[in-house]
Structure 1
Amino acid sequence: MSIDDLPTEKHQFAHPIRSVAVIGSGPTGTPAARHLRDAGLNVRVFERQNQSGGIWNWRPAASLPLSVPTPPPSKGAFTPVVRDGGVFDDPQREVRDRFNPPNPCYWNLTNNVPTTTMAFKDYPYPAGTESNVSHTFLADYVHSYARHFGIDKLASYNTRVEQADKRGHKWVLNLRKVVDEGEGKAREEQWSEEFDAVVVATGHYNAPYIPAIEGADTWAAAWPSKVIHSQGYRVPEPYKGKTVLLVGIGTSGNDIAKDISPFVNKIYMVGRNKLRGPIEYKKQRQMQRFLLPENAQAVSEIKRFVPPAAGQVIQQTSVELTDGTVLEGIDEVIFATGYQYSFPFLPRYHKDPTSTETSDAVEYPLVTDGHGVLHLWRDVFYVPDPTLTFIGLSVNTSAFSFFEYQSIAIARVLSGKARLPSDQDRWRDYKELIAKKGEGKFSHLMNRDGERAYVKATVEWLNRDAEWSGAPLVEGHSEAWLAESDKTVGLIAAKYGLSPEELKRIHQELEESEGLTRENKTDYTTASEETNARANDGVARRSASAIKV
């Protein structure tokens, strides 16, 4: 059953919702706060940075040294701290950087979907805005939105939620504020506040994920500044003349490869030997393998990082691959291997794979292995208790605008202007989703058609309930928006220097490869073999075209 089926039973909140805490003030939490406030609710926003903007806020400082192996999801983003406040010495800013680590924002970061499709409602971008803009432009847009709609007045900046727990029918948030206090010093304050509902808008780019590869911990300990996660990448110049091992051929991996390519000597790019997941996901990953720069070589998965002998520098060691290849002379390692879903302030809702069951853990955890968030209705409402909601978990969407639709849905439900299906129907919907997509990251995967269907269903649901609640009608995607959204793939291709003709050819190849429709289709042993074969084929075709001209 779905929201289109109009079930007769509706969820009834046991207690009125009057106050809501929004955790995070990026492009998800900021519009959520606006719509909740406009719906008549008392709203407080808690943001650990000193302003709105989320991951788009640039800071030149890189992240702290990696924890390898990756910490469990319950501690992935940070370790909660509960202690007395006061002024303390922090000459190297270590405490403040752990409290508020730098964002995964590098200097040349831009959006990957047309800018106009990322606009918030009632707040368009300036006329003439380019389809591809810098992180500073997008951060300024969120800052401007927060000022325009008065969200700064609702926010407690430099404030991190250390714990959020349901006690009775109230959510109790333990809060920690850390600010500068003169040269080499910081001031800390801790307190608690109560709310009827919570919106978690912290996103999913806070807890770097490093695969469990033999020897990675040894390398990270020996050369902490040379073995980093993409979260800590900032500018390409330090990589001049170097050989870089870039682990991951996805969005971040390709972006960083493109960024450092003009400076480096060589890039080894590690991709999965076999692509797994839904067809659309595999197509996306296959498409990304056409985007490698000319001085990059796709290689097989890593078998192990060979432990260094005493006194060896990183260039003297080696990396063994699963196909038997040995890579030597590597200067730097960047893991572009994604992030865990991690909410350390919700410890009772985590069940780490290696942990033992605790008496106060909830029956239905939100996070287990960190690859996805469980037990959510429409990626937003926690099924057992919809006073706990989430925004920003869905992937492959138009981000800002998509998450605003989720914000409006939360505001309508918590203010009583839209109704949730019954508990039974929400569980049924969730089980149908898992049966279709599986648990983990693929449950959050939207892509173009999924995003459009989701928004259409959301708008229809909210507008049906607006007939009896008197709430304003919600406008769905316009024809102009859909037309701009259709340009997304072309925009990404142009960003990586592909012509429309090359893009068309790639699409044809991917369509033909689906279901092994070609009789003599080459069955590549590894993804890297396929990537390099197609790259060589592309070079040959481009050379032939140039000769004809």
Structure 2
Amino acid sequence: MSAPKPFKIRRIAIIGAGPSGLATAKYLLAERSFPQVDIFEQRGTIGGIWNFSPEIPSYSTLPQISPYIPVEKPQQRADGEAIFPSPMYEGLETNIPHELMKYSDLPFSIEVPLFPPYEVVKEYLEEYANDIRHLIHFSTQVLDVRPLDSRNSDEGNYHEIWRVKTRKSGTQLEDVRDYDAVVVAGGNFDVPYVPDICGLAEWNEHYPGIATHSKAYRKPDYFKGKKVIIVGNSASGLDIGNQIATACAHPLLESQRSPPSSIPSGLGTTVWKEELPEITAFLPPSDGIRAVRFANDNIETEIDAVVFCTGYLYSHPYLSSLKPSPDTPDGSRVQHVYRHIFFSPRPTLAFVGLPREVVPFQIAESQSAVIARVWSNRIPLPSKAEMDRWEIEEIASKGTVSRFHRMGYPTEADYINEMHTWCLQAIPRIEGEKLPPLWGGREKWFRAEFRAMRKAYSNRKMARHRVKRPEDLGFSYKKWKEGGEQAARSLPQEPYEKGIDP
């Protein structure tokens, strides 16, 4: 099968003005080939999930195992502002040092703590967006995206029309616009995954609000004196558990499907918590004792709160008319995507930010740089058959379909550098063109060591905010380079949860 014909793309829609959407816009503009770039953002500000709001999402139905749900309806404040609650909570700090958290062309301030709080990241994103803010349609929710046709133009180019239907958030005002290409750059943390455990649905109906997802967590005060179970031992589960433990009754119960995580557990110790296996049943509520059974047959009663830190489903309800669907029935990945970017049946649809267990901002840069060069015809895509073959081989290498987008170190470093190399193959080369990140030894050192850095940082307690550099914690790039790099490449991967962990 022959490779796709050259693209004829001039109008591009980007869905989302979070970190991925902002990077996408920058690289598309830098290509100087696309006269119209529009960014649709359902919130009233940039930043995506880095926007904190005290409002919490309401889940009337648990469990949540399907990605096939309607477009989210916003909550509305008294002043009429439409709110889309994010997973952000008070006191959240990044688990990635700012030298890797940054975009490649904008460093954080030297006064920023090594692991910045979310407020600092939000301010950083505001600064990064300054020169593209005029492209953003704020408070504009995407309702539907569908291809109208695909055809070869008179010049022999591949041309496709995408119709994008939007609504002004919180109103009934709708608009329809046509584009030559669409980038999906957000929404990976919209739909919580809550497993289908025996008795959970009945429990949730009888005890509404006791079982929640971490997306609804805001601060520990709500859990004061309560008997709490945290489900999941991923990064968010450990961090939220540490916070809740400052207020709840001890011990905090941690239900884990897999062995304890190697991710640093933050500010606490194991003195105040009890690790338990996975929950096998929520017992019938008829006796009123709010009981849960675990895999070891242990039963805990008088449970006041269960927080599922079990990740998120890949869900794109505005693409529901697309055949074949990019969403899988279990929501564990996006399918028919080449190199985690291009939708192979219609490569004028692209995704940015699908990979997990990565440093997100620089992954977004890498993918955006490739998209810009492919759609401007400076880099060719392989044939559809070859793209599909890559997907099959990638699944085989991961061992399971649900790990398709999961990278970790060193896979993520290799991916970033492969995207950089791919961009260098662009013809013609353009003097001063915007290239994506290229990781050398120092970046790999940060990535290999940042879990240990995070643990050492957390051990400083309140003094941690004075730590600006890893050297302040005793970490040495020189020593790592001399003896640690090979060992670091065999580090255990982050623990697996079915959903996506933020």
TM-score bin (small chain): 0.7 to 0.9
Alignment pair present for 1:417 and 2:390: no
Pick aligned residue for 2:169 from 143, 158, 178: 178
Could you say which residue in structure 2 is the equivalent of 1:12? 5
TM-superposed CA distance for 1:513, in Å, is 12
Alignment pair present for 1:188 and 2:172: yes
Q: Deviations over 1:448-501 (max 9, x none)?
A: 211111111111111022555667272512444333333312123235549999
CA contact (8 A) 1:112 1:491 kept: no
Alignment pair present for 1:64 and 2:86: no
TM-superposed CA distance for 1:248, in Å, is 1.0
Could you say which residue in structure 2 is the equivalent of 1:167? 148
Could you say which residue in structure 2 is the equivalent of 1:246? 230
TM-superposed CA distance for 1:113, in Å, is 1.1
CA contact (8 A) 1:162 1:345 kept: yes
Alignment pair present for 1:43 and 2:18: no
Pick aligned residue for 2:105 from 98, 102, 122: 122
TM-superposed CA distance for 1:96, in Å, is 7.0
CA pair 380-245 structure 1, distance change in 2 beyond 3 A:
same
| Structure 1 SS opposite 2:417 | helix
CA contact (8 A) 2:357 2:407 kept: yes
User: Mean Cα displacement is larger for which, 195-204 or 478-487?
Assistant: 478-487
CA contact (8 A) 2:30 2:433 kept: no
CA contact (8 A) 2:55 2:85 kept: yes
Q: For 2:93 and 2:224, locate their aligned partners in 1 and report how far apart those are by CA, in whole Å.
A: 22
Amino acid aligned to 1:486: A
Pick aligned residue for 1:105 from 81, 88, 102: 88
Listed as ranges, the matches of 1:170-249 within 5 Å are 170-179=161-170, 187-249=171-233
CA contact (8 A) 2:165 2:176 kept: yes
Pick aligned residue for 1:22 from 14, 26, 30: 14
Q: For 1:12 and 1:115, locate their aligned partners in 2 and report how far apart those are by CA, in whole Å.
A: 41
Cα RMSD (Å): 3.1
Q: For 2:310 and 2:76, locate their aligned partners in 1 and report how far apart those are by CA, in whole Å.
A: 32
CA pair 58-480 structure 1, distance change in 2 beyond 3 A:
same
| Structure 2 SS opposite 1:194 | strand
CA contact (8 A) 1:53 1:143 kept: yes
Q: Deviations over 1:327-363 (max 9, x none)?
A: 01211111111111100001034xxxxxxxxxxxx24
CA contact (8 A) 1:418 1:469 kept: no
CA contact (8 A) 1:366 1:375 kept: no
Could you say which structure has the higher helix fraction? 1
| Structure 1 SS opposite 2:285 | coil
TM-superposed CA distance for 1:155, in Å, is 0.8
Q: For 1:511 and 1:51, locate their aligned partners in 2 and report how far apart those are by CA, in whole Å.
A: 39
| Number of positions where the alignment pairs a residue of Structure 1 with one of Structure 2 | 454
Alignment pair present for 1:138 and 2:111: no
* Structure 2 gap ranges (5+): 150-159, 462-472, 475-487, 497-502
Q: For 1:365 and 1:21, locate their aligned partners in 2 and report how far apart those are by CA, in whole Å.
A: 18
Q: For 2:43 and 2:490, locate their aligned partners in 1 and report how far apart those are by CA, in whole Å.
A: 48
Identity percentage of aligned residues: 28
Could you say which residue in structure 2 is the equivalent of 1:464? 425
Could you say which residue in structure 2 is the equivalent of 1:487? 449
CA contact (8 A) 1:22 1:33 kept: yes
Q: Deviations over 1:89-143 (max 9, x none)?
A: x98779976xx43100010111111111121132221123221111111111111
Q: For 1:455 and 1:432, locate their aligned partners in 2 and report how far apart those are by CA, in whole Å.
A: 19
Q: Deviations over 1:146-177 (max 9, x none)?
A: 11x2x221111111111100011210011011
| Structure 2 SS opposite 1:164 | strand
Q: For 1:335 and 1:385, locate their aligned partners in 2 and report how far apart those are by CA, in whole Å.
A: 36
Alignment pair present for 1:308 and 2:293: no
CA contact (8 A) 2:231 2:306 kept: yes
Could you say which residue in structure 2 is the equivalent of 1:152? 133
Could you say which residue in structure 1 is the equivalent of 2:396? 435
CA contact (8 A) 2:233 2:261 kept: no
| Structure 1 SS opposite 2:387 | helix
Alignment pair present for 1:271 and 2:256: yes
Q: For 1:372 and 1:176, locate their aligned partners in 2 and report how far apart those are by CA, in whole Å.
A: 27
| Structure 1 SS opposite 2:14 | strand
TM-superposed CA distance for 1:381, in Å, is 0.6
Amino acid aligned to 2:13: A
Q: Deviations over 1:198-239 (max 9, x none)?
A: 100114111011100122122222333322110000001221
Pick aligned residue for 1:444 from 405, 414, 433: 405
Could you say which residue in structure 2 is the equivalent of 1:78? 72
Amino acid aligned to 2:178: E
Q: For 2:37 and 2:353, locate their aligned partners in 1 and report how far apart those are by CA, in whole Å.
A: 19
Q: For 1:347 and 1:199, locate their aligned partners in 2 and report how far apart those are by CA, in whole Å.
A: 16
Q: For 2:274 and 2:239, locate their aligned partners in 1 and report how far apart those are by CA, in whole Å.
A: 15
Amino acid aligned to 2:122: A
| Structure 2 SS opposite 1:188 | coil
| TM-score of the pair, normalised by structure 2 | 0.83
Could you say which residue in structure 2 is the equivalent of 1:287? 262
* Structure 1 gap ranges (5+): 1-7, 82-89, 180-186, 276-284, 350-361, 502-509, 515-526, 528-549
Structure with larger Rg = 1
Could you say which residue in structure 1 is the equivalent of 2:275? 298
Pick aligned residue for 1:333 from 303, 306, 313: 306
User: Mean Cα displacement is larger for which, 125-134 or 102-111?
Assistant: 125-134
CA pair 375-195 structure 1, distance change in 2 beyond 3 A:
same
| TM-score of the pair, normalised by structure 1 | 0.76
CA pair 219-496 structure 1, distance change in 2 beyond 3 A:
farther
TM-superposed CA distance for 1:243, in Å, is 1.2
Q: For 1:73 and 1:317, locate their aligned partners in 2 and report how far apart those are by CA, in whole Å.
A: 29
TM-superposed CA distance for 1:189, in Å, is 0.8
CA pair 227-96 structure 1, distance change in 2 beyond 3 A:
farther
TM-superposed CA distance for 1:257, in Å, is 0.8
Pick aligned residue for 2:23 from 24, 31, 43: 31
CA pair 488-289 structure 1, distance change in 2 beyond 3 A:
closer
CA contact (8 A) 2:280 2:294 kept: yes
Q: For 2:76 and 2:19, locate their aligned partners in 1 and report how far apart those are by CA, in whole Å.
A: 32
Q: For 2:297 and 2:283, locate their aligned partners in 1 and report how far apart those are by CA, in whole Å.
A: 13
CA pair 226-215 structure 1, distance change in 2 beyond 3 A:
same
Q: Deviations over 1:8-45 (max 9, x none)?
A: 964324x5011110001101001111211222311000
| Structure 1 SS opposite 2:404 | helix
